[in-house]
Homo-oligomer: A and B are copies of this chain.
C-alpha cells in the first residue's frame, strides 16, 4: 500500500478525465521525482488558472484578460449572423484551427444522453434557455449550426436541440457527413457514404 499522501493524490488524479489509478500513480511518482521548481511552477499555474480564467457570459468559453466577454465574442470582425453550437471548448478550438469559420460560438457544456445526472442535465437545459434568450434578443443571428459530435449522444442532443430551437424560426444546419481523410468506402456505414455521395462536388 502506498503511503497516505501518495494514496490521497492518486485518488485526486484518478478523477482527471481518462486517468485510472495506475496512471495516477505514475503521475505521483513523476511529481516525487520532479525538481521543486517544476512542481512549484505547476502549483502556481493551477492557482493562476483558477484566479484569472473567466467564463464568457455569451458563449461560455473560458478566457482571461480585460473585458467582460471573451475575445471571440468581442471581436468586431467576426460574422455575427452565424452561431455555432458545440459540445465543449476543445471542439470550439478544433473548429477555430481550421480557420474556416468566422462566426460566433455557443458552448453547450455536454450532451443529453439520458444517462447523465439530473444536475448535469439541468445545467444544459439552463444553457439552452440562455441560448434561446440570446437568439431572440440578437436580431443579427440568421443561422445556427448544430456542430455536435455525430456520436449517438451528439445525435440525440441535436434532435432535442432542433425541437427546442424550432420556435425561434431561424435556419438550423448541421455539419456535413462524409468520409474523413484516411477513411475507406469499404468500412464506411451507409449513412456516411450516402452523405458523401450527396455532398459530392
> A residues engaging B (CB < 8 A)?
1-6, 8-9, 12, 15-18, 22-23, 25-32, 36, 38-39, 41-43, 45-50, 52-53, 62-65, 86-91, 93-98, 100-101, 145, 147, 149-152, 173-186, 188-201
Contacts and interface: CB of A to CB of B under 8 A. Distances in A.
Nearest to A89: B29
A9 B176 contact: no
A197 B85 CA distance: 12
Given A29-B90, A200-B175, A5 B52 contact: yes
A175 B181 CA distance: 11
Question: Of A17, A23, A100, A199, which is in contact with the most chain B CB atoms at under 10 Å from its CB?
Answer: A199
Contacts of A175: 178-179, 196-197, 199-200
Contacts of A90: 22, 25-26, 29, 185-186
Contacts of A197: 95, 98, 100-101, 145, 147, 175-176
B53 A46 contact: no
A30 B5 contact: no
